[in-house]
Amino acid sequence: MHDHSYEVSVRWTGDRGTGTSGPRDFGRDHVVSATGHPDVPGSADPTFRGDRDRWNPEEMVVAALAQCHMLSYLHVAVTQGFTVVDYRDTAMASLRLNRDGSGELTKATLHPVVTILEADRVADAEAAHATANALCFIARSVAFPVHHEAETIVRPASSSADSSTGGAD
């Protein structure tokens, strides 16, 4: 077993001159940074007085889940021997707010659309999502279920005969 560590910095940039003197007196803006990477502008969700033009923590969790699943899925494709040529996802999560002001993400659903080359491997490509979910570090770390509503598309490898139209220009 190998342990890895990850370090990021978060710096609040929302002081409007009076600090947190009142709930409407400060911005939720902040910057997430890590050595060697571009800064990520962050804020709260607009519902919680945040800036909609910045990433909020909930979006970043969903993005991490989608990225991790994709990377795990691509690994599974290689180990199982089918060829992925395109991968897109629109991931979503649900947040429940509690009366005391706390809340938690209750579920996430990924919607990967995966394009493969082998028509006879569609079942394998679809089953690979469960394997990828089991391997994904982030999905294994969250306290809510991560669902997958995947679509598999087959794009046969083009041959030289396919590229010849035989028509006049």
103: domain range? 57-156
**Is position 1 within any domain?**
no
Report pLDDT digits (tens) over 82-99.
999 999 999 999 999 999
2 in a structural domain: no
Provide the pLDDT for residue 44.
95
Report how far apart, in Å, the C-alpha atoms of 112 and of each of 53, 69, 123, 141, 144 are. Answer: 25, 9, 15, 20, 19
Are both 73 and 134 inside the same structural domain?
yes
CATH for 82: 3.30.300.20
Number of structural domains found in the chain: 2
pLDDT for res 168: 46
Same domain, 128 and 77: yes
Quick one: 151 and 109 in the same domain? yes
130 shares its domain with 70: yes
Picking from 150, 4, 29, 32, the residue whose alpha carbon sits closest to that of residue 91 is 150
Cα–Cα distance between 48 and 24 in angstroms, integer? 10
The pLDDT, as a whole number, for residue 59 is 97
Whether residue 162 is contained in a domain is answered as: no
Residue 15, φ and ψ in degrees, nearest 5 = -70, 120
Claim to verify: residue 132 and residue 65 sit in the same structural domain: yes
Q: Is the pLDDT of residue 165 over 50?
A: no
Per the CB < 8 A criterion, the answer to whether 55 and 40 are in contact is yes
Let me know if residue 119 belongs to a domain. Answer: yes
**46 and 117 fall within a common domain:** no
Pair (17, 61) in one structural domain: no
21 and 39 part of one domain? yes
Residue 109: pLDDT over 70: yes
pTM: 0.87
- Residue 149: CB atoms within 10 Å: 12
Which of 40, 55, 70 is the endpoint of a domain?
A: 55
| Strand 30-33, strand 40-42: pairing | antiparallel
Whole-number pLDDT of residue 161: 45
| 133 and 107 within one domain | yes
Residue 168, domain member (yes or no): no
**Residues 71 and 32 reside in one and the same domain:** no
- Beta strand 146-148 pairing with 103-110: parallel
DSSP state string for 91-140: -EEEEEE-TTS-EEEEEEEE--EEEES-GGGHHHHHHHHHHHHHH-HHHH
Q: Is 153 helix (H, G, I), strand (E, B) or coil?
A: strand
Q: Are residues 151 and 89 in the same domain?
A: yes
In a domain, 12, yes or no: yes
94 shares its domain with 143: yes
CA distances from 123 to 26, 95, 116 (A): 52, 32, 11
